[in-house]
Amino acid sequence: MQKTDGNEVVIPGAPATQEDLTQELLHDSLQTGSRMRKALLISGVLSILGFVGLIMHFASGSSDHTTWNFYAVVYFYVFSVTMGIPMASIGLRMARAQWRRPTSRSAELFAIAGPINLIFFIPILLVAPPIEGRNSLWMDWALAPWFPDIIMMVLLVVTGLAFLYVSLLPDLASVRDHGIGRAQRIATILSRDWNGTKSQWSIHKSALGILGAFYITAYAMTHLVLATDFAMTLVPGWKDPIFPAFHAVTGIQMGTALLIVTMYLLRRLGGFGRYFELEQFWGYSRLLLALSLFYFYFWWCAFILFWYARLPHEQAVVALFISGDYADPSVFSRPQFLMFLGAIGFSFFLPLLLLMWNVLRRSIVGPTIVGVIILIGGFFDRMRLYANAWSVDQVGGHGLEYIPEINAPTISDLFVMVGMISSILFLYLLVSRVVGFVSLWETRQALLLRFVKPWGVGHVSVVIKPE
Amino acid sequence: MSDVKWGMVVDVDKCSGCQACVIACMAENNIPINLDRDFKENRSIAWIRIERYWEGEYPDVKARFLPVLCQHCGNAPCEPVCPVYATFHNDQGMNIQVYNRCVGTRYCANNCPYHARYFNYRRPTWPETYNNYLNPDVTVRDRGIMEKCSFCVQRINAATRIAKRDGNEDAIAGLQTACAQACPTDALVFGNLNNPDSQVSQLYNDERSYVLQESIGTQPNIRYLKKIDEHAAAEAHAH
Amino acid sequence: MQDRPTLTPTQINEELLWPVFSFRRRHAIAFIPPMILLMGGVAAVTILVYQGLWVTGLARPAFWGFFIVNFVFWIGVSHAGTMISAILRLTQAEWKRPITRAAEVMTIFSLITSLLHPVIHAGRPWRIIYWLLPYDFSRGIWPDIRSPLVWDPIAITTYLTGSVLFVFTALIPDFALIRDQSTGLRKKIYGQLALGWRGTPRQWKLQGIFGLLMSALILPVFVSVHSIVSWDFAVSVVPAWHVTVYAPYFVIGAVHSGVSMVLTLMALMRWIFKLENYIWEDHFDAVGRLLIVIATLWLFFFFLDFAFSFYTREEQELAVMERRLFEWPFNAITVIMVFTSYIIPIPLWLSRRVRRNIPLMFWTSILVNIGMWLERYFLIIPAIERKQELTFLWSNYVPSLIESLVVLASFGMVGFLLLLFAKFVPLVPAWEAKEGVVFREDVQFGQVVLPGIIKETEEENVW
């Protein structure tokens, strides 16, 4: 316990001491209760559904990409959400926000979804139409888009897993040294020779920094190539350089939303109330508000141009993704417009209205509700983009000549969605059996770097930001 | 009068590049005399200009001529960008430039895909002997404002007045812009597009007709007639 | 740490307020270069307005030139003030303290400077001023709200008003300080400006709340201003201008050049006004780190814009890219721009030693702004030189001496106004400096001392 100016340091409230912390995070939270067993079992079984859905899709025999439109919706939704969560944590780590420390683990654990995303990416590659006769970033390169895109995906997944592993390392060592049972055996293998020496910590710190920067780059570039190759290229006349950035930012937005929901669930079901406190929810809800504003800004930047310049090929893009067919007199019978309303309503207007309200923003339930809303809105948004873009069967041309019919989703799309989500959940819970949902070393450092001391009649907190 | 929609058809096949239209337009519309200096500085003003493109390699070259003037777009990119409504659309399909209102931001010129708008960098001057030749019906534009083809709006206004006075439409039916009047090969045909009997509306729907830079969606009231190229046609047949 | 002196309030008053109470030689000499530039500009503008726009290099099809490029540049620089103050205030970054005011004031002056450009650039400047006012004189015609040139003045004047309010509220405690230290007429004037500031807890609280509120309110304005400036180009149908990424790209470029300009300003302030005790190497370090992130984001958007120029492979855009990449002088401009705004400074800034080397930071920040000026030129000019398919009229824009003088004078004008401002108010807020001393808390960790910051807190249980 450190001292300043002769004043005894006060840390009021919960996780009081380092010993308590170790007890809670290393022993109590690693016990696998019956509820956890059930969750593991159910998610494990449901995981199979994903593969069933895939087989059903392939068995239907259609290699026409327009029938895979809702598969693309599901895939890009899950991909955007799960790969976006670590971004929220890495970004805050770079900004040296101390409050994010207890939440980092639950965010970064989502990097475990990488392999699942990789597996379900393969059908996308197989059914996506070739780039001949289409606009493309790849200059008619023979291997494009399959080769560069799979490389980018692998890079992103591997970077995510590497980042996760490095951030787990100190905790794995703690489990090795203090844990029990199977977790300890696994941790002994994984933790290698981590002893927490000074040089190890300094390498650890720079490794996290470099891998974090690398993840951000890989994330941005993967979204760039995927959004271009599997959405923009399919629609003739759609040139929208901000779209990849929009795609990446909405991914982070949905990721942050899911993180808040995860935090809430862990708080309610896992008993981690001490670690996911008001301050964490407040911090993420501010981030969520900012990201929702970005959603609108990036969308608007594209829309204002398409609307103002009145170029025919861009008006067709607006019809495809926003308004629907102008010929249809009833606005609400156009599926494109309904999808758009759902997307912008749930991703921007509702979150803005709710989070603008101080009482809701600075609460635990408020951000959670908004998180759920944004997850719904995000699905609408991916539906608006991919279901429409994948329905286009026109190849080449200066602009889209007609607004295509959207192929309805099938039961196999639902299976794939349930399967992907369950398998990610299964892996998430499985890994949490070894390392827990809250990072021990991060939380310990947070306790060291921040404390409350008396000041006049009240208290002030002292924040230390080492170089 | 609102049942009138003025338009023009430019037959590229007939254009010989003689520049008579350019001169006629200058005389009619009080366009200052373009000096050497103006051409060198790219500041010459010509409401209608003949663009000349070379086709083929020397010595087997052909000159191609393309008369370009304000296209009087139905969906004009120059209009919404003007902050002071100096350019707008009237109910006769014309794109109007109001000189007095123009402040010279030159945004319209930037946004015009046809390069049809011209800016007065200098105060216009004429040799003193020319002063009596200026057209009294047309404003002389001061420096600092935009100008462009007006479809000889002064002639349209005069014809409308005469038609109203006489109670018949003869004056309107025979109306010509200066450029169309001067064209020796009748490559330029001006008239009322709403009158199905007029030469212009028949040519307007000719199978050879096309719109300049159609992909921008400007919906102009001027259409062009394709060059009839025997050589190209023969080649197309061979394939 | 090595140079974080502990200062007493009296010392702070003396060291920060000397330019107000005396006029020393170094301050006077600093006035000379901007004055020379400014006089050149005044002469140039006089000739321009008297003679007409033929004295510029503008010609068909490049109807916009240096003035618009410079306008965009200065609007960009003006983004630094809010960037530094509002965002850092909302995120409670402690290191913002000594640089906020200089940055905010630079915002105001560069906004004023940039506003002059569209006016003198118009064909009839004497009309644009009152015809763009949203007031229906006797003409019966309002400005056309559809035109981006109407959005511009609305956005910019909103931003200017907001920034002035922002600066003024932050100035009130310092006005009061000067009032209390002076006599006679000066006391009267500053007394009026201080609006009865007594430094009561309630006043401090209101001032703090206003600062936070203004930060949150001004952020959307800050983003919208440069977006709207970018839409001057992007909503047009000129192929290489009509790019959806322009708005965020312009905004991030603006922040990049603006924050670099703040670095330049910090080094100059430190040198002219001897502010070594207030502007530390730590601050250069922090701004440098921030700039690495900003510059990389800028590079990402630059890459998006660049890569998608080839996306459709339409001849119009390829012609613009050919001009940008292969034709003199744009081939040189492109290379210089990429090197000066990213490739040279960013790897240097990655090193902590460079970030703490003030002369080096000064020169690299100037490099960035050379690059960012050229970036605007790179974006705006080639697109109209190679506009649309009618190649008959393509031509190249060559700026004239008059235009160049005006561009130089704009730098002189901002410098002159800043120096003039420093004569009346300290460029480093005295009250922030004092608050910073109170809120510092060095914590002993074993053998090292780490700097800590005290934050007011309401909750008991804080992570």
Give me the pLDDT at residue A279, please: 85
CB contacts < 8 A, A to C, total 130
Cβ contacts (< 8 Å) between B103 and chain C: which residues? Answer: 122-124, 127-128, 131-132
| Domain limits for position A53 | 18-306+410-463
Q: Which of B42, B49, B51 to mutate to test the interface with C (most CBs of C within 10 A)?
A: B42
10 Å CB burial of residue A284 (0-12, 13-18, 19+) is buried
**In CATH, what number does C9-453 get?**
1.20.1630.10
Measure the CA–CA gap between A238 and A392, rounded to whole angstroms. 12
Nearest chain A residue to B78 by CA distance is: A309
**Closest alpha carbon within chain A to C148:** A308
Choose between B192 and C444: higher pLDDT. B192
Output the pLDDT for position C461. 47
Contacts of B211 in chain A (CB under 8 A): none
Task: Tell me the pLDDT band of C138, cut-offs 50, 70 and 90.
Answer: low
Residues in chain C with CB shorter than 8 Å from the CB of A312 are: none
Chain C CB within 8 Å of residue A403 CB? no
Task: For an interface test with B, give the residue of A239, A306, A310 to mutate (most B CBs within 10 A).
Answer: A310
Whether the Cβ atoms of residue C433 and residue C7 lie closer than 8 Å to each other: yes
Check residue C1 and give its pLDDT.
42
Q: Do C453 and A462 touch (CB under 8 A)?
A: yes
Residue C407: predicted pLDDT: 96
CA of B211 vs chain A CAs: smallest distance (Å): 14
Delimit the domains of chain C by residue range.
9-453
- In a mutagenesis test of the C interface, which of B106, B216, B224 is the best target, namely the one with the most C β-carbons within 10 Å? B106
Query: CB under 8 Å to C139, separation ≥6 — which residues?
Result: none
Are the Cβ atoms of B80 and A308 closer than 8 angstroms? Answer: yes
Asked if residue A77 belongs to a domain, the reply is yes
Collect all residues with Cβ–Cβ distance below 8 Å to C292 and sequence separation of at least 6: C346, C349, C350
pLDDT at C460 over 60: no
With residue A173 as reference, give the H or E element that holds it.
helix A146-178
Q: What are the tens digits of pLDDT across the range A142-156?
A: 787 889 999 999 999
> Would you kindly state where each structural domain of chain B is located, as residue ranges?
6-238
Q: How confident is the model at residue B87, as a pLDDT?
A: 92
Q: Confirm or reject contact between B77 and chain A (CB < 8 A).
A: yes
CB contact under 8 A, B217 and A308: no
Q: What is the ipTM of this complex?
A: 0.92
> Is the per-residue pLDDT at A401 higher than 50?
yes
How many angstroms separate the CA of residue B78 from the nearest CA in chain C?
9
User: Would an 8 Å CB–CB cutoff place A239 in contact with chain C?
Assistant: yes
pLDDT per residue over A97-114, tens digit each? Answer: 888 888 999 999 999 999
Task: Answer whether residue A225 shows pLDDT above 90.
Answer: yes
Instruction: For residue A80, tell me if it sits in a domain.
Output: yes
Whether residues C245 and A241 touch (CB distance < 8 A) is answered with yes
Question: B43: which chain C residues are within 8 Å (Cβ-Cβ)?
Answer: 54, 59-60
CB atoms C127 and B103 under 8 Å: yes
- CATH classification code of B6-238: 3.30.70.20
- A256 within a domain of the structure (yes/no): yes
Q: Are C123 and B118 in contact (CB < 8 Å)? A: no
Find the CB nearest B68 among C123, C146, C390.
Answer: C390
Q: Which residue has the tokens 């993180």?
A: A259
Low-confidence winner among A47-61, A127-141, B179-193, C18-32 (lowest mean pLDDT): A127-141
Does the N-terminal peptide bond of residue C61 adopt cis geometry, omega within 30 degrees of 0?
A: yes
Chain C residue with Cα closest to B216: C237
- Whole-angstrom CA distances from A234 to A69, A125, A171, C99, C140 are 12, 13, 46, 49, 49
CB contact under 8 A, B105 and C148: no
pLDDT at C454: 79
- For an interface test with A, which of C294, C311, C444 has the most A Cβ atoms less than 10 Å from its Cβ? C311
| Cβ contact C238–B53 (<8 Å) | no
Over the stretch C227-273, which tens digit does the pLDDT of each residue have?
Answer: 999 999 999 999 899 999 999 999 999 999 999 999 999 999 999 99
Res. C108 pLDDT band, cuts 50 70 90? very high
HEC string of chain C? Answer: CCCCCCCCHHHHHHHHHHHHHCCCHHHHHHHHHHHHHHHHHHHHHHHHHHHCHHHCCCECCECCCHHHHHHHHHHHHCHHHHHHHHHHHHCCCHHHHHHHHHHHHHHHHHHHHHHHHHHHHCCCHHHHHHHCCCCCCCCCCCCCCCCHHHHHHHHHHHHHHHHHHHHHHHHHHHHHHHHHHCCHHHHHHHHHHCCCCCCCHHHHHHHHHHHHHHHHHHHHHHHHHHHHHHHHHHCCCCCCCCCCCHHHHHHHHHHHHHHHHHHHHHHHHHHHCCCCCCCCHHHHHHHHHHHHHHHHHHHHHHHHHHHHHCCCCCHHHHHHHHHHHHCCCHHHHHHHHHHHHHHCHHHHHCCHHHHCCHHHHHHHHHHHHHHHHHHHHHHHHHHHHCCCCCHHHCCCCCCCHHHHHHHHHHHHHHHHHHHHHHHHCCCCCHHHHHHHHHCEEEEEECCEEEEEEEEECCCCCCC
Average pLDDT over residues A239-258: 95
Q: What percent of chain A has pLDDT over 70?
A: 96
The pLDDT, as a whole number, for residue A463 is: 77
| Contact between C52 and B101 using a beta-carbon 8 Å cutoff | no
Q: What is the pLDDT of residues C192-205, one digit of tens each?
A: 999 999 989 999 99
More confident residue, A463 or B199: B199
Q: Measured between CA atoms, how close is A298 to chain B, in angstroms? A: 23
CA distance C12 to chain A (A): 24
Residue A328 lies in a domain: no
Cβ(C229)–Cβ(C376) below 8 Å: no
B99 in contact with chain C, both atoms CB, cutoff 8 A: no
For the stretch C20-64, pLDDT in tens is 888 889 899 999 999 999 999 999 999 999 999 999 999 988 999
> What total of structural domains would you count in chain A?
1
Is residue A1's pLDDT more than 60?
no
Tell me if A312 and B75 make a contact (CB, 8 A cut-off).
Answer: no
**Average pLDDT in the C71-79 region?**
93
Q: How far does the CA of residue B53 sit from the closest CA of chain C (Å)?
A: 7
Provide the shortest C-alpha distance from residue B76 to chain A (in Å).
Answer: 10
What's the pLDDT band for C14 if we cut at 50, 70, 90? confident
Q: Cα(A397)–Cα(A236) distance, rounded to whole angstroms?
A: 6
pLDDT reported for residue A12: 41
